[in-house]
Amino acid sequence: MINSLMIMIVCTSFLLLLYFSYNFPSKRSLPIDRARHSKKGQPFCMEQYYRLFSSYRYPGKTKDILVTTSERDPFDPEHIIVIYLDQFFVIDVITNGSRLSEEDIYNQLRRVTQFAEESIAGESEMEVQPRVGALTALPRNKWAEVYEQLCQDPENEGNLKTIAKSMFVLCLDKPIQAVEELDETTDINGFLNETNDSNNLNKRDDVSLALQLLHGMGSSFNAANRWYDKTMQNNSQNQMIYQARVSVYLIASYSICMRNSDTNQLFNPKLTCFDRWVIELVKSFSELHTITGEPYLKSLINNSQGIENLPVNHKKEVKRWKLVRFPSVCELAYPRRMKWNLDNNSKSMIDYALNEIDKIADDLDLYILRYKQYGREFPKTVNMSPDSFIQLALQLAHFKLHKYLVPTYESASTRRFALARVDNIRACSMPALEWCKAMTGQTKCSTDEKIRLLRKAMEWQTEIMLETILGHGVDNHLLGLRQIALDHGKELPNIFKDPSYMESNRFRLSTSQVPTTMDAFMCYGAVVPNGYGAAYNPHPDNIVVVISCWRTNPNNNASKFAEMLDSAFTEMRELVLSNPQLAKQPSNEPVEWSIAKSLGADVGLNVTG
């Protein structure tokens, strides 16, 4: 269960979130982000930063409704939701006209954990509440129906409104079993039901961390300890934190809730804008508060029974928490536990949701590749874009494994424009295909010719990337035209009915660069049943790539894709080092890219066989 040391760490992240929510959104006072490369210095739209704490997704039978409150009503209560052991609690962050102090937060969280643990153990008069958090993981149309049923009860309706108006949701998770590795043969539920070995907690691997954040490791653990409709969820998990080197992880609505009702795909619709801020927030947290530093966390795990062997500065910090009297505890209003009134249908839907979560959890195949031979600095030595370099490595990996290329999505930030979010960089191209054929021996050519083909594909990829981030991309433009026709009741133009266009939008390779200086990563599932997801974080001297696919497709395998990607990175390094001067030289062939050509057969839309 959650111990006092864990609550200490959570308190610090809690305060940081409160500080951000109070000081920046209403004042809109964050320093403006600016472009660092192309059109250097161009300002970025900051709107998404200010929506982190004021957005909520309401379920709908045909489509969801995303509601963003531009300004907080001064008469609205200011509170957060804490979920522990699947029980929901409300904590007011304003008491007697003042915001909670760090000691106040500590006391309130201790009360929450005590209430929940006593209730679950049968040591309290409070009745154990149903695992309603699982309902938000239902297919959206089913959740919309249950939502309407819940709102027919005044107490349930009040609870739902309280959650929607909360500043954020804090999920205090119970620990999961440590594992060395999860492979494609691992049964998630069987693995979770085994006895937890506390001696192996420091062996927890990256994959179990990622799965914990995506789906809570299934119904046996924390899948229902969530409210997936809330944009900002702060997920804190006892002992998992030590492996990850920071104490908290923030879930910005990219978990199991984003499943497509028809395909059960698990994906992330909000790519770089929220995630980059989330990662930087955690980075700031770890820098500002030494209590969360790696040496301290390792000390906690090795000295869980006492503080005798802790470093001196860490001893002082622990003693400060242990000896403080917390004089305000008697004045604090107790956290309010939510009570739910569910009929038999709603209860049965909870069981259905938990069963569906387990199916998806078992189906998701995830592998985290840490490539350590080089990082983003190496491509720069031969005048190549690091992002384009990685994208071509992904193309080569897919070609080596499956012998063909597929429509590829790479998120491109369009924040140079007001209220814009992302467009799509299409990495699948004829130059990439020609180079992949040469690298795998399908086309016989010399090493120098392979370098020329690499340079040609690199320049093509880089040009498309620059055009897209500057607002000249293909996908958003065509999507706008298609939507205009639908909104006005017009017949769709033939291009939108063409099989090539339809196939080009089934992204069997969905990728995203989420850079951060921290040892952190983002993860999501493949967006189509026969596809892959690949999120990557390029460090100066290493590259972290999270690869995902679905086990129900026998042709896809995350670990095999990772093996091919590792090989592709190495082969590309060896190739350019065989003749660095040639690798640095621009291609003699001009890059010709246009919307018309990119939609034609010349771009490789028919290379799927």
Q: Minimum mean pLDDT among 9-23, 241-255, 478-492, 580-594: which range? A: 241-255
For 379-401, write each residue's pLDDT tens digit: 999 999 999 999 999 999 999 99
Task: Provide the mean pLDDT of the chain.
Answer: 79
Give the pLDDT mean for 511-540. 91
Higher pLDDT, 217 or 255: 217
Which candidate, 229, 213, 232, places its Cα nearest to that of 277? 232
Q: What is the pLDDT of residue 191?
A: 40
Is pLDDT above 90 for 27?
Answer: no
Domain boundary among 361, 382, 400: 361
> 417 and 357 in one domain?
no
> 74 and 14 in one domain?
yes
Q: How many domains does the chain have?
A: 2
Higher pLDDT, 437 or 38: 437
Sequence-ordered alpha helix ranges (H) in 200-343:
206-215, 240-244, 272-288, 294-302, 312-323
> 521 and 597 in one domain?
yes
> 223 and 256 in one domain?
yes
pTM of the model: 0.81
Coil, strand or helix: which one is 370?
A: strand
> 390 and 415 in one domain?
yes
For 354-379, write each residue's pLDDT tens digit: 999 999 999 999 999 999 999 999 99
**Strand partners for 89:** 82, 337
Asked if residue 551 lies in contact with residue 352, where contact means CB atoms within 8 angstroms, the answer is: no
Q: What is the pLDDT of residue 14?
A: 79
> 338 and 378 in one domain?
no
Q: How far apart are CA 340 and CA 342, in angstroms?
A: 6
For 133-175, write each residue's pLDDT tens digit: 999 999 999 999 999 999 999 999 999 999 999 988 999 988 7
Which candidate, 143, 168, 191, 379, places its Cα nearest to that of 274? 168
Higher pLDDT, 71 or 46: 46
Q: Which helix (H) or strand (E) holds 367?
A: strand 364-371
> 110 and 61 in one domain?
yes
Q: Show Cβ contacts of residue 34 under 8 Å, excluding neighbours closer than 6 positions.
A: 40, 41, 42, 43, 44
Total residues found in the chain within this entry: 609
Q: What is the pLDDT of residue 225?
A: 94
Domain boundary among 320, 339, 361: 361
Which tokens hold the place of 213? Answer: 């954040």
For 278-328, write each residue's pLDDT tens digit: 445 444 444 444 333 333 333 433 443 333 444 444 445 544 444 444 445
Q: Show Cβ contacts of residue 112 under 8 Å, excluding neighbours closer than 6 positions.
A: 82, 84, 89, 91, 172, 335
Asked if residue 282 lies in contact with residue 520, where contact means CB atoms within 8 angstroms, the answer is: yes
Domain boundary among 361, 386, 411: 361
Q: What is the pLDDT of residue 76?
A: 62
pLDDT confidence of 11, banded at 50, 70, 90?
confident
Vertex 138 angle, CA 265 and 268, to 5°: 40
Tell me which residue range forms the domain holding 545. 372-603
> 591 and 567 in one domain?
yes
